[in-house]
Structure 1
Amino acid sequence: VGIPSADVPISLQELKEYFTKISPELGASDDAKRAALFLSIPPMPKVVRFATPAAPAWATLTTLAASSLPNWARTLYGWPNLPGAQFATAIALRTTRKTLSLIPPAIAEPPMLKKARIRWNLEQSA
């Protein structure tokens, strides 16, 4: 992605040191906060928002995504760091992963991925 390999942390310790070093420079601008809100509550047609489970499902996933950020990142956005939140988030992430893995690939995989696999001769066309 254009980052010199010498600048890329290669261990967890180096990653922690990197974030400690740059943390004074980090912040959540008003634009970043508006983008987070937009992603949390995206525009949807009224019929989708109120007549389907799309809005609550989306809200659940975006809350889980925000909860999985490290404490320092949540603090930048003014989000609380509650006791036990990391434990609850870890359980929710595992549950979500296991639940999503139950969806058959024919449903879960985007049609574009299937077409790409066929183009690359990784899969037979139906």
Structure 2
Amino acid sequence: MGDLGLFGPGSVTWKVHAEPILMVAGLRALLLQTLHPRALAGVVQNSDFRVRPWHRLETTVTYVVTVNYGTTADAEEAGRKVRYIHSRLRGVDPRTGEEFRLDDPDLLRWVHVVEQESFLDVARRSGVKLTDAEADEYYREQLRAAELVGLDPATVPSSRAEVAEYYESMQPELATTRDTVESMLFMAVPPMPFGLGWTPLRGAYTGVAALALSMLPTWARQRYGLPGLAVADPAASMAARILRAGIMPIPRRLIEGPIYKAAMARARAAGHAI
């Protein structure tokens, strides 16, 4: 009961990931990751995400929540499973025909940085109050998550400035291919689960997908052929703030998962005010 996990109360990670608005960040991260041809090929060639997109989403969300709110043992076990799976998988670069490993540090680093930058960007732009120092601390805290998937923390950007430099250095590696566009369209309009295609859920998801696209960095929107003018950013931020304000009145017990609830119970048992 005393194990508060890799981060715990008072961490920026717990502050950021307590926000339901991060559902937008998850989709934003996937849209960014898709711009890396090898990262996309690794997913397309080794998963059934187009057949079971919601299962893959649930698996990813469970992993992220376990790392951030699970016990230390649970987080380490989740990381061990991911490392084992990645070590067995291979992909073929669609541009060169070269075979590559899915646990290639360059690919792991891209996925990690894109996820953390998306979580932080959406949180801040939707109104979560975080200072620049806290934002940098978030990246430093998340080095522990990077280490879980097999990365050397010394090779991972750990501040806003380092992430900006990393994105700049990655531009030559990114490309918009047919697979990129098809994957983007699939993520924007996926088959809905449980036969809920023609229900308000479809409209709600479409709105979230549109917001995720609008919150991409300017260079990423341009690669998707979307308006890349910086003047569009304030409108996207305002939409995110409105969505967050709309979510906040929902009783937390209805949207908090069991891993998060267990973390809060352990924190209270340890004497922390939650």
Relative to the length of structure 1, the TM-score reads 0.77
Relative to the length of structure 2, the TM-score reads 0.39
Separation in structure 1 between the aligned mates of residue 159 and residue 247 of structure 2, nearest angstrom: 30
Residue 157 of structure 2 is aligned to residue 13 of structure 1: no
| Counterpart selection for 1:106 from 242, 253, 263 | 253
Aligned to 2:106: none
Separation in structure 1 between the aligned mates of residue 265 and residue 256 of structure 2, nearest angstrom: 17
Any gaps of 5 or more consecutive residues in structure 2?
1-148, 269-274
| Counterpart selection for 2:240 from 78, 82, 93 | 93
Alignment map for 1:57-76 (pairs within 5 Å): 57-76=204-223
SS of match in other structure, 2:196: helix
- Give the number of the structure with larger relative contact order, counting CA–CA contacts within 8 Å between residues 6 or more apart: 2
Any gaps of 5 or more consecutive residues in structure 1?
none
Aligned to 2:181: 33
Q: 1:82 to 1:121 in 2, by over 3 A?
A: closer
Q: 1:83 to 1:21 in 2, by over 3 A?
A: closer
Aligned pairs, number: 119
Separation in structure 1 between the aligned mates of residue 191 and residue 243 of structure 2, nearest angstrom: 24
CA shift for structure 1 position 29:
2.8
Separation in structure 2 between the aligned mates of residue 79 and residue 121 of structure 1, nearest angstrom: 44
* Kept after mapping to 1: 8 A contact 2:188/2:209: yes
4+ residue segments displaced more than 4 Å: 120-123
Which protein is bigger by CA-based radius of gyration? 1
User: Residue type matched to 2:167 in 1?
Assistant: F
CA displacement 1:27-68 (0-9 Å, x = unmatched): 1332222121111111237x7333x21111111000001111
CA displacement 1:65-115 (0-9 Å, x = unmatched): 1111101111122222246310011111111112112211232234x547x
Separation in structure 1 between the aligned mates of residue 160 and residue 253 of structure 2, nearest angstrom: 36
Separation in structure 1 between the aligned mates of residue 204 and residue 168 of structure 2, nearest angstrom: 35
Alignment map for 1:44-83 (pairs within 5 Å): 44=192, 48-50=196-198, 52-82=199-229
**Coordinate RMSD, CA, aligned:** 2.6
Separation in structure 2 between the aligned mates of residue 99 and residue 87 of structure 1, nearest angstrom: 18
CA shift for structure 1 position 121:
6.0
Q: 1:82 to 1:53 in 2, by over 3 A?
A: farther
CA shift for structure 1 position 24:
1.2
